[in-house]
Structure 1
Amino acid sequence: MKTNDEIMDIFDQLKKEKHLSISEIARRVGMAKSAVSKYFNRTRNFPLNRIEDFARAMDVSPEYILGYHAGYIYSKEITNIPIVQTLSNNSDVVAEPNAQSYYPTASFNLPIGELFYFKMKDNSMTPTIPEDANVLLKFQEDIEDGQVAAITLNEDPTLLLKRVKKQDNFLLLLSENPDYDPIIVTKDTSMQIVGKAIRVSYDL
């Protein structure tokens, strides 16, 4: 069994990777922010009976937190997740019905919710997301500050991946590659958030 510090080290890393605040974690698990803060500050031991709630809040399995899979247990179940590049006019996801439109993915440790992949077509998000990488996204219409989102702009159904930075009166859509200029989104810009980037897969 992992110690309290080992468990919280994993949660700290996930909190950093997923750009989650204490307030957002508390909201997801239905607890007071002050209580959650004490777990992360190590002033109160983490309650193991809440491991499933916290793991789900961070889109991982309880086994991942506790280290039971230890890199040696692999899922035998495969899920075919659609690869999506554009939205249809009514904002439903569309994917051509052929084998190249789906990406086989091990079912173990998949986040809860409706998922899809996006095939990166340029180098705007390198080095975080290389060109030709498959990016796993979760359908959702809101995004936290600093997270990478799949979006559409100005009625164009083509999806874009950008890191979202929230300002007082506008949004900045940032590329990781400094050769790409930021996109400023104001109230006059038509923007739709389609999903949140979860993980990146690519072939060597």
Structure 2
Amino acid sequence: MFLGERLKDLRINKKLSQDKLGSLLEVSKVAISNWETGKSVPSEANLERIAKVFDVDVHYFYSYGELLTIFNKLNPALQGRLIEYAATMLKQQELNNPASTTKYPYKTYNMDSFLETLNDSSKVPSFTLNYDYTKTLYQFALWMQDDSLEPEIPMGEVVLLKFENEVEDGKLYLVVFNGQPMFRRVYKHSTYYKFVPINNKYDTIFAPFEEKPEIIGKIVGHFKPIEK
């Protein structure tokens, strides 16, 4: 949102009348007045001219301007820390006030219906879900109905799956071995896959390629559903 009062303050501090500023910018006095009172906002070209006259960044005239100016002066490492801190503050705010959290629609499957869909459909759609401050491309959302991913992903959360042709060592995948679907960290060796559980109550499995283990999809995200 353009903050006209910031333009007015700069103009007064520089001892410019609305007429004089209008002349410098090649616009009318009325246009200057409308910008300062919020009746209208300057075009992008005019905003750049204003910033040049007052030797400020164009972001100065917006409510986020001060924060962005500080952010741009930080080195990349400190920028990353600031983003992490802001994300933590936002998450805490949402925990304190769940009603303010944005809700996004999604369709979930349990394991049985998911496997049925895979068997019956040759085309699987892709979706984009906004969650946890990012956009995540996924193809299926599954309810976690067991504790195999605890404590990393608790039972009752939703995991987002995306089909992958290549295995990335150490990432979490839904796999099927000997007819049994399971979530595991996958490591590919020359003649077999190593399926490593998150929850240590489950066993590590060595799956030789000749026994045709299936890598169904990689977990690309997870979240706790918000009750309506």
Structure 1 length-normalised TM: 0.52
Residue 150 of structure 2 corresponds to residue 122 of structure 1: no
Match of residue 172 from structure 2: 148
Q: Specify every segment of 5 or more residues in structure 1 that has no aligned partner in the other structure, as ranges.
A: 11-63, 95-104
Equivalenced residues, count: 138
Runs ≥4 in structure 1, deviation > 3 angstroms?
7-10, 67-70, 72-77, 90-94, 105-108
Distance 1:9 1:189, change over 3 A: farther
Q: Which has the larger radius of gyration?
A: 2
Looking at structure 2, the residues matched to 191 and 185 of structure 1 have their Cα atoms a distance apart, in angstroms, of 6
Match of residue 78 from structure 1: 104
Looking at structure 2, the residues matched to 134 and 76 of structure 1 have their Cα atoms a distance apart, in angstroms, of 16
- 2:105 aligned counterpart, secondary structure: strand
Distance 1:203 1:87, change over 3 A: closer
RMSD between superposed Cα atoms in Å? 3.7
Q: Percent identity, aligned pairs only?
A: 22
Whether the aligned pair in 2 keeps the contact of 1:87 and 1:93 (CA below 8 Å) is no
Residue 208 of structure 2 corresponds to residue 182 of structure 1: no
Q: Give the deviation of 1:136 after TM superposition.
A: 1.9
Whether the aligned pair in 2 keeps the contact of 1:172 and 1:182 (CA below 8 Å) is yes
Q: Which has the higher helix share?
A: 2
Q: Give the deviation of 1:183 after TM superposition.
A: 1.3
- 1:79 aligned counterpart, secondary structure: coil
Looking at structure 2, the residues matched to 150 and 136 of structure 1 have their Cα atoms a distance apart, in angstroms, of 10
Q: 1:132 aligns with which of 149, 156, 161?
A: 156
- CA-to-aligned-CA distance 1:127-180 (integer Å, 9 cap, x gap): 1122222212223232310000012234x3x64211112333321111112221
Looking at structure 2, the residues matched to 9 and 141 of structure 1 have their Cα atoms a distance apart, in angstroms, of 34
Alignment of structure 1 residues 30-179 onto 2, 5 Å: 71=90, 78-85=104-111, 86-88=114-116, 89-90=119-120, 92=122, 106=130, 109-111=134-136, 113-154=137-178, 156=179, 159-179=181-201
Distance 1:171 1:131, change over 3 A: same
Whether the aligned pair in 2 keeps the contact of 1:84 and 1:93 (CA below 8 Å) is no
Paired AA for residue 147 in structure 1: K
Distance 1:159 1:119, change over 3 A: farther
Structure 2 length-normalised TM: 0.47
Looking at structure 2, the residues matched to 190 and 77 of structure 1 have their Cα atoms a distance apart, in angstroms, of 40
Distance 1:117 1:68, change over 3 A: closer
Looking at structure 1, the residues matched to 182 and 123 of structure 2 have their Cα atoms a distance apart, in angstroms, of 14
Distance 1:188 1:7, change over 3 A: farther
Q: Specify every segment of 5 or more residues in structure 2 that has no aligned partner in the other structure, as ranges.
A: 1-70, 95-99
Whether the aligned pair in 2 keeps the contact of 1:166 and 1:172 (CA below 8 Å) is yes
